[in-house]
Amino acid sequence: MPGAMVDRDATIGGGSSIGSGARLGSGAVLRGSVLMDGARIESGARVERAVLGRGAVIGAGTVTIAVIIGDGAVVGARCELRHGIRIWPGTEIGDGGVRFSAGA
C-alpha cells in the first residue's frame, strides 16, 4: 500500500488490498476487500467483501457488504449497501440515500 494513508485506529482485515493513494479514516473497517488507487473510506465506515474502484468514496458511517463500487462513484454518509449491489462509475448517492435495513 505505497502512498496509502491509514488512520491509526482504522482496522484492516485479512484478504484486503489497498491501492496507492487510498485513504482509510478514523475508525474505518476494511475486511476482505480491494481498494483501487485513490479510493477513500471515511471515518466510521465499514467495507467488507467489496471492491472500490479508483477514486471511489464511501461516506462516514456507511456500511458496504458484498458490493462493487465503480471508479469515481461517491456513496454518501450513513448509507447501507449489501448483497451484490453495483454502483456504476461516476454515480453519486447522497447521505442516507440507500438503506437495506429499517435503522436510520
Query: What pLDDT is stored for residue 3 in this prediction?
Result: 85
Residue 7, domain member (yes or no): no
Q: Does residue 104 register a pLDDT over 60?
A: no
* Helix (DSSP H) and strand (DSSP E) numbers for the chain: 0, 16
Phi/psi at 6 (nearest 5 deg)? -120, 120
Question: 30-38 — which CB contacts under 8 Å span 24+ positions?
Answer: 35/4, 36/71
Residue 88, domain member (yes or no): yes
Residue 6, domain member (yes or no): no
> Residue 53 belongs to a domain with what CATH number?
2.160.10.10
Cell of 63: 456500511
| pLDDT 10s digits, 32-83 | 999 999 999 999 999 999 999 999 999 999 999 999 999 999 999 999 999 9
| pLDDT 10s digits, 80-98 | 999 989 999 999 999 999 9
User: In the structure, what pLDDT confidence band is assigned to residue 24 with cuts at 50, 70 and 90?
Assistant: very high
Percent of the chain with pLDDT over 70: 95
| 35 DSSP 8-state letter | E
Domain residues for the domain of 39 are 24-92
Residue 28, domain member (yes or no): yes
Query: What pLDDT is stored for residue 73 in this prediction?
Result: 98
Q: How many domains does the chain contain in total?
A: 1
Cell of 17: 488490498
